[in-house]
Structure 1
Amino acid sequence: MNQIKADISVIILTYNEEIHIERCIKSALKIANRICIVDSFSNDNTFLIANQFKIDFYQNKFINQANQFQWALNNCNINTEWVLKLDADEYFTDDLINEITIKLPLLPDNISGIYFNLRQYYLDKWIKFGGRYPLRLLRLWKFTKGIMEQRLMDEHIKITEGESISFKHDFIHDNLNTLTWMISKHNNYAIREAIAQLNEEFNLSVKDEFLDKKQILKNSTHRTRFFKNVIYSKRLLLFRSLLYFLYRYFILFGFLDGKEGLIYHFLQGFWYRFLVDAKIIEIKHLALKKGINIMQAIEDYSGYKIN
């Protein structure tokens, strides 16, 4: 029996995703009548693999995730009612596919956004504890009712009109790359996260308007942003990363995720956060040593400009 596809365009950003892209496309094809890949000039087999399927393949120079995704929204000639954001290392559970197919056509007109539960795997282990499940992320929205935040890190879709609801079932994040790749990726993330925190501390640009108090208790996107900007950022550099890891691992039962969970929670909850703090200290030291303002120090250190 053929799956009835919804009026959805799925947007997937890629760069050297040959290890994931076939799995991702096959999953997306089960629900969507259009798939748009926006590639950052991959030099592996991403295009050759993707081209075997009925998809639209675009290429654009990468600046950051938010900029690239907004480029996709502006340039992929979206003609469907709904848009879905899917990372190349993600795919849908069968339960979520059925839920989208059944519920989407029946939603009232005032619903403009839909949250899904993110289920994360590491070394084939479902990471259930440490506050990592369920993470509710807004991934499906009406094309004319949402915009992408323009942030260096943790960008999300903001609904401009209407209400949002949550679906019951999960989509899966399962990155198949090595630990070496993961460390390199998070080193780059840490630079951008350090800049984001310095932006908050020194009021370098427009303050975050995404902290909707009404939504903090409803979904993890707002809770995470609130935790980082209002609670975590006010604590002592370096020591706060240790406290956060201990909280995740013991108070939130991360230890129940086994040896895979120990690796995941330690690297993501302590090592990465410690690295962010170290980079903040480096940037401040550079500003003091050279006698320059913090904005110039950020640019000299990272190449990023704060607008």
Structure 2
Amino acid sequence: MTAPISAVILTYNEENNIKDCIDSVYGFAEEIFIVDSGSTDRTLTILAQYENIKVINHPFENYSQQRNWAISNLPFSTEWILNIDADHRLTPEFKQNVLQHFQIGISQDTNGFLASRKTMFMGKWIKYGGHYPTYHAVLFRKGFGQCEDKLYDQHFKVEGQAIKLKGDIIDLITESLSTFTLRHDKWSNLEAWEQFSQTNYNDRVIKGSLSTGNPIAQRRMLKNIYQKFPLFVRPFIYFFIRYFLRLGFLDGTRGLIFHFLQCFWFRFLIDAKIYELKQRQHEQSAD
């Protein structure tokens, strides 16, 4: 059964991911838009095998601007917009729950839906370490959602009430350890610069709050607290909490690899790059 939603998928050289992603959405979303930023592999060839998929090419600046361009410029024919990445897969439970909401009728006060991602790393579901469930705003009414204007760790902001869905979205976060480390090295540059420059985003980002029922705002508040700790100390604390207190060790050997790289190495790398930026600033001011 088809849901009255428009799916938006960003692509760039996603030949290894796009078919399974499309297959999980095809026949469920009323229309599918692909916003491609110049793929040179077989991504576009694979997409050409499907009927009624609209492929639009748009130059890539950053994820936030690409997503917001899509929201503002694509010719949606539905009231609801679903945003996923090429390495995401909609589960049958997710699709069934969305359809149930549309069949029952969605209140005008509800402008969005949150779904948890089910992270798969080296073929294993990372269930512990506080990594599941982690909710993201993936579906919202047209005109009531936008992506945060951030270089890294962007979330969709929904104006009005957003309710949790029961089904998950599978997130295949890496094809290989080499891909994982290369991506996180790139992302560490963005996160280090944002923390170093202390960019004031005002209303363009989700405000952190532990008192609200919004899990995205709660995670943002915890991140704000984390950033107040000293450089090079906070990665050790974060890893200890995630791996030991939040039971990340129960994820086994592949979980150890994931939690160490994601909770310690990545964040230590961010701190090292912040330190490097501060050293350069000091040297320039001394000249």
Whether these two folds match at TM > 0.5 is: yes
2:19 counterpart of 1:22: yes
Distance in structure 2 (CA, Å) of the matches to 1:216 and 1:251: 24
Q: Deviations over 1:88-143 (max 9, x none)?
A: 00011111111111212421121100001111111111111000000111100001
Whole-angstrom distance in 1 between the partners of 2:70 and 2:48: 18
Q: CA deviation at 1:212?
A: 5.2
Deviation at 1:205, TM superposition (A): 3.3
- Mapping 1:85-104, distance limit 5 Å: 85-104=83-102
Partner residue of 2:50? 53
Instruction: Tell me what 1:44 maps to.
Output: 41
Whole-Å separation in 2 of the counterparts to 1:38 and 1:259: 37
What SS is found at the alignment partner of 1:291? Answer: helix
Matches within 5 A, 1:75-114: 75-105=73-103, 106-114=105-113
CA contact (8 A) 1:20 1:176 kept: no
Distance apart, 1:207 and its partner CA: 3.9
| Equivalent pair of 1:16/1:45 in contact (CA under 8 Å) | yes
Letter in 2 for 1:197: Q
* Alignment match, 1:62: 60
Q: Secondary structure at the match of 1:223?
A: helix
Distance 1:135 1:210, change over 3 A: same
Find the aligned partners of 1:174 and 1:206 in 2 and give their Cα distance: 30
Distance 1:215 1:80 in 2: 34
Number of residue pairs matched by the alignment:
284
Asked if 1:213 is matched to 2:209, the reply is yes
User: Hey, what's the Cα distance between the residues in 2 that align with 1:212 and 1:281?
Assistant: 25
Indicate whether 1:247 and 2:241 are aligned.
yes
Aligned pair partner of 1:271 in 252, 265, 276: 265
> After the TM superposition, which of the residue ranges 169-178 and 52-61 deviates more from structure 2?
169-178
- Unpaired segments ≥5 residues, structure 1: 293-307
CA contact (8 A) 2:208 2:219 kept: no
Q: Residues 212 and 184 (structure 1 numbering): CA distance in 2 closer, same or farther, change over 3 Å?
A: closer
Identity of aligned residues (%): 36
Render the CA deviation track for 1:146-166: whole Å, top value 9, x for unaligned.
122211112222123x31111
Whole-angstrom distance in 2 between the partners of 1:272 and 1:254: 16
Q: Where does residue 120 of structure 2 map in the other structure? A: 121
Distance 1:269 1:34 in 2: 37
Instruction: Determine which of 198, 215, 227 is the counterpart of 2:222.
Output: 227
CA–CA distance in structure 2, aligned partners of residues 187 and 215 of structure 1:
33
Aligned to 1:305: none
3-state DSSP of counterpart to 2:151: coil
Please state whether the residue corresponding to 2:113 is helix, strand or coil. strand
Q: CA deviation at 1:272?
A: 0.2
The equivalent residue for 1:289 is 283
3-state secondary structure, aligned to 1:194: helix
C-alpha displacement of 1:198: 1.9
Q: C-alpha distance in 1, partners of 2:239/2:258? A: 11
Q: Secondary structure of the residue that 1:140 maps to in structure 2?
A: strand
Deviation per residue, 1:239-289 (Å, 9 max, x gap): 210111111000000000000100000000000000000000001111111
| Distance of 2:76 and 2:153 partners within structure 1 | 24
Give the superposition deviation at 1:176: 4.9
